[in-house]
Structure 1
Amino acid sequence: MQVAEQQLLDLRPKFKETRKKLLSARHLPGEVYSSPEIYAMEKEQIFTKYWLSVGRVEEIPEVGDYFTFQVMKESIVVSRPAPDQVVAYMNQCLHRGVEIAVGRGNAKEFSCPYHAWLYDVSGKLVVAPGMKDSEVELKNCSLRQLHVKLWRGWIFVNFSDEPMSFDAYIAPFEQPLWWFQTDHCKLAQKVEIDVKCNWKFLVENLIDIYHVGVIHKGTFGGFVKGEQVRFNLVENGGWHTQYEARPHSKSGEQVFPTLPWAQDKPTGIACKAGIYPNLNLSMRADSVRMWHIWPISPTETKVICYLLFPEGAFSIPNYDEEMEKYVGFVRQIIAEDAVMVEGMQNTAGSKFFKPGPMSPLEEALYHMENHYINVMASQA
């Protein structure tokens, strides 16, 4: 970590360029997108301290349901041990650290595949074979529990022993996001794509109105007037906005039923928001998408996009065919972005690269990049 700290100190002059007022500022230096040491520090300063959405409540509806997940190589289990309880804990046997659960499913207990230590679905140690004569107290032991909060149908976890208040963390979004009623939606599919770039490039790309009319001109960009989009910036790098676009389909026509809370809105309504560090929320008149951006390595990222619809969408004629088209449209958009962000990743490691000036359309990027500096190098 000392190497990363020194790198951040060395980047102070470049950070000062990002800290200038928007119309004079430059983007973050390439080193923060390419350095393995800074990436490791991001894990400690961001992903083990911030609240992270790891899935939907509806994905574990029954007692005993569980799924496993990884956050920057930290393996966890999310489970439902009781009807009104959702828990999360480290997927590490208390003996040698072997993962006690894999995939997803329904279980009453987990047996470590190495030495058969047995845990119930809440993570509590039930029995440790061969340890009867051990002088270490093993009664009432449990796998390390994570803090868990449920919000609008989503499961948030926090790795910290003393996490920031979730209520304070989410408060800036409670009232403005009248449109984000995903607890009244149903999950249709998850689109997962791996992209060869640093996670920040994708988070930034999802709020970059500047590029929409260029690389997305053939999909949806021609219907978004970037210069008319105004961002509401909130604390902790968050933001939200509302503008006019079109229904989210290749034809531009609305296919699925209108969301109940958007009945009095135009079919071209578009709402977006960002919750730091890795969530991007997007609504059109008939659907909501929740983009999760997960770091895999300094130069690799996994995108998981949850596609959510009102109940009535699942009974329309030709549902399977229309959903296939919708998923294909989402994948096409990601593919268009991937070419650009992977190109930026190649440039980020070049000693000749100098970050360019920010456009007035990049106000939200400016806000988030400066928050990143506050988190990672507050004295820079």
Structure 2
Amino acid sequence: MNATVPIHFLDLRDRIASTREPLSRSKHLPGDFYHSADIHAVEKRKIFLDTWLCVAREEEIPNPGDYLTLRVVDEPVAVVRQPGGEVAAFVNMCLHRGVAVAEGRGNARGFSCPYHAWGYDLGGKLKVAPRMQHSECDMQGSRMPPMQCVTWRGWVFVSFNRAAMPFEEFIAPYEKDDKLWWFQTGRTRLAEKLVIEVACNWKLLVENLVDVYHVPILHKGTFGSMVRYGGTSDSFECDLLPRGGWAYDQKARPHSSGGKQMFPTLPWLEGMSDDTSSRAGIFPNVNLSMRLDSLRNWVVWPTSPTTTELHIYLMFPHAAFDDPEFAKNLEVYKAFLHKLVGEDAGMVASLQLAMKSPFFEPGPMSHLESAVRHVITNYLDVVTAG
């Protein structure tokens, strides 16, 4: 999708040259990238309408007819379990006037537009258009725009772009050398999805989630003192993968006050140290995380140039759900997560305010920000291409 790039965006190219310098000379992006409506529009076309996006967990729609809806950079999407068991997705927009035909989530045999009652099957194909018998327009075989849709490790990925690279190629860097051996979500169960609104541009949150530099400082009172990234407290080793991906192992105790384990050990980690932990990121907006007793998927969705919605999927081994104390422990776990996310949310909101200031100048990057730079430079490659 080679869209015309606004002049305002082109004017920034000279100002991002320092970001592409080697890490020891690299600087962060200019503030415009975090509030400009023009740049947000470019990101929508060149990133979110072009690549593969993780939109759901299969468990959320287990039965034929189960569906859920969401908005991706303000485009309406429906994800539906088909009668044969496969998952399909389409742009949730009636072919008559564009009204969304599905709302929220639920189970249906088909969909009916609430405006003029045009009816569709579960795959988005038009079945009935009342009082249109005098129209000479050929509507035979019409359907709401279908999206590419695949499932991977229990997750639903979609793409608006019918010519997007094959998903197997997209995900290959993470499958190579069993890079995500620890992300065995097929052997876990989804407990809950948290949805948190954050007052910042989506990239600030994506960068924050891979920024290890701030962890021992900002999160000192929650989990910062329980995390180690390398041989020393001042080192960080990370696999920088193609197209902005990254993965690394760390030493980190389970998420809880004091690092106490609250749920059974993930089966494939039995016998391993209680500080076993790994993380990975999939461009543009997916962040995967493992502790000894749990898995999480953090998905960052832009809702405007300066606001973001964070979806956190919480997954545990099946044995955890048999524990009579599970519900109580889950509430404690969620409270801890809300606390640490609150620490980040306050900080990125402060960053967001700085981005529009005429006094803001991008600062140099630390050697601990290698993954942050990797994500940013890949982002620049994408939005400045073509």
TM-score interval w.r.t. the shorter chain?
A: over 0.9
1:265 maps to a residue whose letter is M
Correspondence list, 1:94-113, <5 A: 94-113=95-114
2:138 corresponds to 1:131: no
**Structure 2 CA distance for partners of 1:190 and 1:2, relative to 1, 3 Å:** closer
User: What whole-Å deviation, never above 9, does each CA across 1:55-112 have from its counterpart, x for those lacking one?
Assistant: 0111111111111111011001110122331100011100010111101000001111
Equivalence for 2:14 = 13
Deviation at 1:262, TM superposition (A): 0.9
2:92 corresponds to 1:91: yes
| Partner SS for 1:307 | strand
| Partner SS for 1:254 | coil
Deviation at 1:4, TM superposition (A): 5.1
Equivalence for 2:202 = 199
- C-alpha RMSD of matched pairs (Å): 1.4
Equivalence for 2:254 = 247
Equivalence for 1:347 = 354
2:217 maps to a residue whose letter is V
Correspondence list, 1:295-306, <5 A: 295-306=302-313
Equivalence for 2:321 = 314
User: What whole-Å deviation, never above 9, does each CA across 1:306-344 have from its counterpart, x for those lacking one?
Assistant: 000110011123111100000111111110001110000
Residues 65 and 82 in structure 2, CA contact (< 8 A), matched pair in contact too: yes
**Same amino acid, percent of matched pairs:** 47
| Partner SS for 2:14 | helix
Correspondence list, 1:222-261, <5 A: 222-226=225-229, 227-261=234-268
Distance (whole Å) between structure 2 residues aligned to residue 48 and residue 155 of structure 1: 16
User: What whole-Å deviation, never above 9, does each CA across 1:166-195 have from its counterpart, x for those lacking one?
Assistant: 111101111210001112211001111101
Distance (whole Å) between structure 2 residues aligned to residue 363 and residue 2 of structure 1: 30
Distance (whole Å) between structure 2 residues aligned to residue 260 and residue 349 of structure 1: 48
Give the TM-score of the pair, scaled to structure 1. Answer: 0.97
Extract unaligned runs of 5+ from structure 2. Answer: none
Distance (whole Å) between structure 2 residues aligned to residue 82 and residue 289 of structure 1: 29
2:241 maps to a residue whose letter is V
Deviation at 1:229, TM superposition (A): 3.1
Residues 64 and 106 in structure 1, CA contact (< 8 A), matched pair in contact too: yes
| Partner SS for 1:146 | strand
| Partner SS for 2:344 | helix
Equivalence for 2:272 = 265
2:148 maps to a residue whose letter is H
What is the aligned counterpart of 1:210 among 208, 213, 216?
A: 213
**Worse overlay, 310-319 or 209-218:** 310-319
Deviation at 1:2, TM superposition (A): 8.8
Distance (whole Å) between structure 2 residues aligned to residue 299 and residue 275 of structure 1: 22
Distance (whole Å) between structure 2 residues aligned to residue 100 and residue 55 of structure 1: 19
Distance (whole Å) between structure 2 residues aligned to residue 67 and residue 304 of structure 1: 14
Residues 191 and 331 in structure 1, CA contact (< 8 A), matched pair in contact too: no
Find runs of 4+ consecutive structure 1 residues off by over 6 angstroms. none
2:92 maps to a residue whose letter is N
Residues 62 and 83 in structure 1, CA contact (< 8 A), matched pair in contact too: no
Deviation at 1:3, TM superposition (A): 8.9
Distance (whole Å) between structure 2 residues aligned to residue 337 and residue 309 of structure 1: 24
Deviation at 1:20, TM superposition (A): 0.5
User: What whole-Å deviation, never above 9, does each CA across 1:186-217 have from its counterpart, x for those lacking one?
Assistant: 10011111011000000000000000000100
Residues 3 and 37 in structure 1, CA contact (< 8 A), matched pair in contact too: no
| Partner SS for 1:37 | helix
User: What whole-Å deviation, never above 9, does each CA across 1:136-162 have from its counterpart, x for those lacking one?
Assistant: 111211111000010000000000121
| Partner SS for 2:70 | strand
Residues 3 and 46 in structure 2, CA contact (< 8 A), matched pair in contact too: no
Distance (whole Å) between structure 2 residues aligned to residue 134 and residue 206 of structure 1: 53
Deviation at 1:121, TM superposition (A): 1.4
Give the TM-score of the pair, scaled to structure 2. Answer: 0.96
Distance (whole Å) between structure 2 residues aligned to residue 13 and residue 60 of structure 1: 47
* Count of matched residue pairs: 379
2:195 maps to a residue whose letter is E
Distance (whole Å) between structure 2 residues aligned to residue 312 and residue 229 of structure 1: 34
| Partner SS for 1:251 | helix
**Worse overlay, 228-237 or 299-308:** 228-237
Correspondence list, 1:1-380, <5 A: 5-174=6-175, 175-226=178-229, 227-378=234-385
User: What whole-Å deviation, never above 9, does each CA across 1:206-261 have from its counterpart, x for those lacking one?
Assistant: 00000000010010001123534310001100000001111111131111011111
